[in-house]
Each structure stands twice: as C-alpha cells, then as structure tokens.
Amino acid sequence: MATLELRSISKTFSTATGSVPVLDRLNMRIANGEFVAVIGPSGSGKTTLFNIIAGLELPDTGAVLIDEVEVTGQRGQVAYMPQRDALLPWLSVIENAVLATVVQGGDVSAARREARALLADFGLEGWGDVRPALLSGGMRQRAAFLRTVLWHRPIMLLDEPFGALDALTRAQLQQWLLGLWDRLDRTVVLVTHDIDEAIILADRIYVLTARPARIALEVPVELPRPRSYTLVTDPAFARLKRQLQQVLVDGSGQS
C-alpha cells in the first residue's frame, strides 16, 4: 500500500479558440489502503486529473507524491484502468493480463502463471485463452481489472470502470470489487459519475466543482462495511446522498 498526495495541481489546455483552464490548485491526500472516490460534473477534469497522477500529462503547477516522494510526470508509478477496458482484440485474456510485464521486459512466464492462478478470483476460470470479443461486458471489465492488478502497483486508479454496464452487472461488479480490494490491500482512487456507487464503495469522497475544477467538498463515508445496495434505504445513506447532490448542483465550494 502507499499514500498518494496531490499538491496544488493546476492545468490549462490551449485550443484553437483560446485557453481552457481545467484544474485549479487541487490538493488531495489519500492514505495507505484507503478507497477514495472522486465525483464532479461532466467535463470537470476528472480524467485529466488521473492522467496527471499516472504521469501521462504534466500539470502546469503542483506536484504528485507517492509515499512523500515526488513522481510528477513519471509513468509506471500507479496502475491505471481507463474508462474503456482497452483490451487488445487479437490477444487472449491471459496475454492481455500480462501485457505490462511484456512491455516492461519482465518474467512473462511467471506472469502468465500468476494470471492463470487468479482467473477464478476474477470470475474468469476457463476463459483465459479466449479473446475479448467472446466475453460479456462484465467479464471484459474483470479481465481489465486482472491486467491492472498484475501491474503490481500499490495504487490503482479506476476511471469510471462500470459506466458502460447495465445496472445489475454494475451492482454485481461493485460487490466483487469491494471483496477484491479487501483481499489485495491496495490504495484505490475511483472516478465515477454515480453518487450511489461512490457512497457504497468509498471511505471518503471528493466532490469537484465545474471546470476549472476545485475541491467543493471532502467528506468521509461513515457507513459500516461490508456495504451493498441495501444501504440505499438507510437514513444516513440518504442524508449523505442529498449533501453530495446539493454540492454538485450548487457548484460551490472552497479550494
């Protein structure tokens, strides 16, 4: 596990029509083993924030630190699962899962053995040699999670991993993810547009304002674990959901 800290992250993009400020002095600190959700209006810069954490983009100002060591602009420090599963269609589930090891020049045979040993835990037993086109949406997401886990990074970034799934599959995978997180002892940061999902999964939630994004609210989720969708009838769940909705609607907050 590892701590993740963002210090005064700002980002502006230049376009043909002028400058577009996206992030405005964002500060976050995520503890070892914590599960944190980030929500905000569409286009508020959540994916840009993840790209900066992952070293795919540089901030204009600010720093990214892991365990107090600055890693701004350094790739490979975190495991990053983007919105789309990005499975390569010509590779099997196993070969997709070990892709990071191949790229990094690691022990691919050992990675394949590890991937096969994990197939049952990921609901993919018997599907290791199948190509992605034959998988359901939920199975594709689990295969993408397997690849993310096999990066062996203590911090995982999950960018709306369930956004394209139907409600039932989404709920099933949320429960599966919570069990996986509990076993793996990883620090997880999740971007989601679903308030219910954020409350069910996270220890703490950051709410971003509209672009340029600032922190509108940081709130702990003080609901007992294990959690499931039965919590939606809990008065504490309802109060927290109303609070988050109001902040999103108001767009107010402080940096």
Question: Cβ distance 97 to 147 under 8 Å?
Answer: yes
pLDDT band at 1; cut points 50, 70, 90: low
- Give the span between the Cα atoms of 191 and 198, in whole angstroms: 8
Given CA atoms 243, 247, 248, 254 in this order, what sign does their dihedral have? negative
CB of 145 closer than 8 Å to CB of 180: yes
pLDDT (tens digit, 9 = 90+) per residue, 135-166? 988 889 889 988 988 888 999 999 988 776 77
Question: H helices of the chain, where?
Answer: 46-53, 93-97, 99-104, 108-118, 137-149, 167-184, 195-201, 235-250
Q: Give the single-character DSSP code of 94.
A: H
pTM of the model: 0.89
What's the token pair of residue 46? Answer: 């959540």
**For 86, left (φ over 0), alpha (ψ -120 to 50), or beta?**
left
Distance CA 119, CA 112 (A): 11
For the segment 70-115, what is each residue's pLDDT rounded down to a tens digit? 999 999 899 998 878 889 999 999 999 999 888 888 889 999 999 9
Q: Do 65 and 234 form a contact (C-beta atoms < 8 A)?
A: no
Per-residue pLDDT tens digits for 183-235? 888 899 999 989 999 999 999 999 999 989 999 999 999 998 888 878 888 89
